[in-house]
A and B are shown apart, each in its own frame.
Chain A
Amino acid sequence: MIRLAWRQFRSEAIIGVAALIVVAVVLAITGPHLMSVYRMAPDQVTSTYHTLQVAVVALLVIVPAIIGIFFGAPLVARELETGTFRLVWTQSVTRLRWLTIKLAVVGFSSALLAGGFSLIAAWWANPINIVNQNRFSSATFGILGIVPFGYALFAVTLGATVGLIFRRTLPAMATTLVGYVATRYAVTYWVRPHFQAPLRMSARLSTASGFSFINTPTGLSMTASPPPIPNAWPLSASIVDKAGHTPTSSYLQHACPALTTGPGAGRVAGGPHTTPVIQGSMQTCIANVSAKFHEVVSYQPANRYWPFQIYETALFVVLALALAGLSMWCVRRRVT
């Protein structure tokens, strides 16, 4: 049965490995040069292969989704669609065992494939990651480390289960894509921040950047970006006084008259391209506000990166197992 599962996965596996080899060759050619750029001029590392870097990030983001759509969704749906389930389920193997082995073979191969892409990319992007110090950020966390293994396993079982329920390949593919993206989004923004209670840190306003004023129905408020913390994951930042209150609308108008009234009011200010006049009034404003207010940042520290990788991988493996259980229940009870 294992040989059968391999035989039926062969063409998909060949395409997957071929793609992996192409990517590996491209990255192996450019990787050493990127490393030498890093050694001589670290500040040019992010601009040298910018297009390639964007492409690699995009590739790593979509690899598990593609695996779910093209390896997972047709796994059972195509058999149901073409009627071959009547052939294979009447051989000397129970359909439960058939599904278990198919899921295991395709699931683990897919996890290895996704992990392979990720490992090669991690090697290539190492200089960039050293310079950027953002491996914990929402965008980078999901494409490096061990999480791609979990994502691929989840994507395959999601595709297979949806295919088993829908009994048709194309709708199963579409639903797999939507389900995968929705799950990744939900975990990234609503689950991952809570794996452990975030740490809080106070910072003086003079270290902060990216100030802006926002007009809300209740009045004017002021926000700032968190200060850079190497390889940490900042979750939120707010400007508060000692009692924890945010600056009031009237206080801001009083402290920063040039920015909060008149033609430039409410616009984002403080970036590198603002005019000297605005920059000057910005400095006055920050000096005024920082007399009473400071910035409070909540964040996940850098040393939680690997624990979080393990938690998130475990979460997706558990989701994959739950889906596998559901599909096994379906294949025994529901189908035909």
Chain B
Amino acid sequence: MTAAIETAGLIKRYGRRIALSDCTLSIPAGKVVGLVGPNGAGKTTLLHLAIGLIAPSAGGITVLGRSPAERPDQLGRVGFVAQNTPLYAGMSVVDHLHFGAWINPRWDQTLAEQRIGQLGLNPRQKAGTLSGGQRAQLALTLAIAKRPELLILDEPVASLDPLARREFLQGLMAIVADHGVSVVLSSHLVADLERVCDYLVVLVASRVQVAGEIEELLAIHHRLSGPRRDSFRPPADWEVIEQSDVERQSTLVVRHKGPVLDPAWMVEELNLEELVLSYMGRAVGNGSTSLKLAGVQR
């Protein structure tokens, strides 16, 4: 199966700033993929590269097996909702549906009208007067009614209140169930992604830290706590993500397939947020270069 997004050594520089460094990644199709990372990690840059809004400085990226945005039909295969859901403030809801219909050959007007009806939006209302949640829903409607194979959403719920957030994500889940579309969705909040995603990519300091099926990630990461051992050397098949030592106790987050047999360790399951935070902590603690890169905001 073709990957939704595949990158190799992808780099994006703005002058001397590095927004994305040496990103190699394969995001499978048919998933709801969460792209998580702190602000300025390079999430938006990666998504803009995928939709073809910007061109890479070096390296390669293919989306659904082809170069992004090279041709109109490729633009039609990918739906995109940009951060802050830009819409034409002076155009009404129904004008936006016309906009979509005039500019997309595969436009599904029935679907668009249905969704607007379900959302209870007034078709005559100007987009500039819609609430944040309504704007996001209208932008999502535009993106889905062009019948894309892949839907890319850049921080779609970041500016929404909790209720609008839940409604938006519920709408997204309904779309995935109805249309079988692949989704890549970025957020700096794990809680948003946990509800809807089945695949996770953690991007910190312009580098991919970990990527995989959420279930699998949760199965292979463990938190171990036990008496402090100063000369502790983890077994070769353990990858220690995080280690903290207090007076008498050591706590580790390790990546390890299979059970932990040493009875000295108390084994706990991690939740997704804890898992992501340990990777973020590791990336930021990795040295001054990473810290500097984490500060690069796009």
Contacts and interface: CB of A to CB of B under 8 A. Distances in A.
Interface of A: 1, 3-4, 7-8, 11, 82-94, 97, 336
Interface string B72-115: 11011011101010111111000100111011111000000000
Contact of A90 (B53, B90, B102): B53
A84 B85 CA distance: 9
B165 interface: no
Nearest to B82: A86
B14 to A, nearest CB: 10
Given A1-B102, A4-B102, A92 B146 contact: yes
A89 B73 CA distance: 13
A92 B104 contact: yes
B87 A84 contact: yes
A87 B139 contact: yes
Contact of B82 (A7, A90, A94): A90
Contacts of B53: 86, 89-90, 336
Which of A1, A7, A84, A90 counts the most B-chain CB atoms under 10 A from its CB? A90
Nearest to A3: B102
10 contacts: A1-B103, A4-B99, A11-B90, A84-B88, A90-B51, A90-B82, A91-B103, A93-B75, A94-B69, A336-B54
B33 interface: no
Interface string B225-249: 0000000000000000000000000
Residue of A3, A4, A83, A86 most packed against chain B (CB within 10 A): A86
B126 interface: no
A34 B2 CA distance: 76
A94 B71 CA distance: 7
Contacts of A85: 86
B103 A93 contact: yes
Contacts of B102: 1, 3-4, 7
A94 B76 CA distance: 10
A1 B76 CA distance: 14
Interface in B158-200: none
Contacts of A1: 102-103
A120 to B, nearest CB: 30
Interface string B127-148: 0000000000001001000100
A88 B102 CA distance: 11
A82 B82 CA distance: 12
Nearest to B72: A92
A3 B146 CA distance: 17
A329 B222 CA distance: 53
Nearest to B98: A7
Nearest to B85: A87
B256 interface: no
Contacts of A336: 48, 53-54
Contacts of A3: 98, 102
Interface in B33-83: 48, 51-54, 69, 71-73, 75-76, 78-80, 82
B146 A91 contact: yes
Contact of B72 (A82, A84, A87, A97): A97
Nearest to B143: A90
Nearest to B53: A336
A4 B75 contact: no
Contacts of B75: 90-94
A185 B2 CA distance: 59
Nearest to A333: B55
Contacts of A86: 53, 80, 82, 86
Contacts of A93: 72, 75, 103
Given A92-B76, A94-B72, A336-B48, A82 B86 contact: yes
A84 B139 CA distance: 11
A82 B89 contact: yes
A172 B106 CA distance: 36
Most B C-beta atoms less than 10 A away, residue of A3, A11, A87, A93: A87
Nearest to A4: B102
A92 B106 contact: yes
Nearest to A8: B88
A328 to B, nearest CB: 16
B103 A4 contact: yes
A87 B86 contact: yes
Given A87-B142, A336-B48, A92 B103 contact: yes
A93 B52 CA distance: 12
B88 A91 contact: no
A100 to B, nearest CB: 13
Contacts of A90: 51-53, 69, 75, 78-80, 82
Given A90-B79, A94-B71, 5 more contacts: A3-B102, A7-B99, A83-B86, A84-B88, A86-B53
A94 B69 CA distance: 7
Nearest to B152: A90
Contacts of A83: 82, 84, 86
Contacts of A11: 90
A297 to B, nearest CB: 56
Nearest 8 Cβ contacts at the A-B interface: A92-B76, A86-B82, A83-B86, A90-B80, A91-B103, A92-B104, A4-B102, A3-B102
